[in-house]
């Protein structure tokens, strides 16, 4: 399993697609955006779900957390059943977000990847996407990496997605060879 952590518009989804192309086996790519997209609309607006403030701040409520825990357990079950999975997530809760994934993935081989991107570059990407609240990318660029330790880090502002994917794939191959 590969877990990509980075702020909004940092390039995680593009890197995940490139990883699917450069890794020799078939890998599923699953992002937190998919989880949000399949939630009922009321959870994308209310205090119990996930909220997006005008300044880009993101808040999450108890019902969102419960569904997110179930989603994490489901992803872990797919890996335990033999699927190779790339998760693209935004660790808004910092180290606590990673702990929640570690709990769900207990006993599984995981490559933890930090996807860094200069806040100004991410903000430009956010603007061109048009599907994000302005300010999210800048607010999250460093926040999601505080206190984190990774197996590998890439910088999507300095390298194309495919080059980032090759760096990650080399680390995956190295870890697989040492197990």
The one catalytic residue in 33, 69, 131, 155 is: 33
8 is in an annotated binding site: yes
Q: Is 73 helix (H, G, I), strand (E, B) or coil?
A: helix
- What digits encode the pLDDT tens for the residues 118-160? 999 998 888 777 666 666 788 788 889 999 999 999 999 999 9
b/e per residue, 85-120, with b = 16+ CB within 10 A? bbbbbbbbeeeebbebbeebbeeeebbbbbbbbbbe
106 labelled catalytic:
no
pLDDT confidence of residue 75: 97
Sorted by where each starts, the structural domains of the chain and their CATH numbers stand as 2-174 (3.40.50.300)
For residue 97, say whether it is annotated as part of any ligand binding site: no
Q: Is pLDDT of 2 > 90?
A: yes
pLDDT for 51:
61
Distance CA 35, CA 86 (A): 14
Cα end-to-end distance, the chain, whole Å: 14
Which of 66-75, 130-139, 170-179 shows the highest mean pLDDT?
A: 66-75
The more confident residue out of 151 and 53 is 151
Predicted confidence band of residue 77 (pLDDT cuts 50, 70, 90): very high
Residue 11 known to bind ligand: yes
Q: If you average pLDDT over residues 94-113, what whole number do you get?
A: 96
Distance CA 42, CA 119 (A): 30
- Mean pLDDT, the chain, as a whole number? 89
């Amino acid at each position: 399993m590969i877990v990509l952590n980075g702020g909004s518009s940092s390039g995680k989804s593009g890197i995940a697609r490139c990883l699917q192309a450069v890794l020799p086996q078939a890998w599923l790519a699953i992002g937190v955006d998919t989880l949000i997209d399949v939630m009922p609309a009321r959870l994308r607006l209310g205090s119990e779900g996930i909220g997006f403030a005008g300044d880009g701040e993101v808040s999450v409520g108890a019902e969102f957390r419960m569904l997110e825990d179930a989603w994490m357990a489901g992803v872990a079950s797919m890996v335990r059943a033999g699927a190779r999975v790339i998760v693209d997530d935004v660790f808004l809760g910092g180290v606590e977000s990673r702990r929640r994934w570690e709990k769900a993935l207990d006993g599984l081989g995981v490559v933890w990847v930090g996807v860094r991107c200069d806040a100004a570059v991410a903000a430009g990407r956010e603007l061109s996407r048009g599907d994000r609240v302005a300010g999210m990318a800048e607010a999250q660029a460093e926040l999601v990496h505080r206190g984190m330790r990774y197996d590998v880090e890439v910088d999507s502002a300095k390298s194309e997605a495919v080059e980032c994917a090759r760096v990650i794939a080399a680390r995956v191959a190295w870890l697989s060879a040492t197990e």
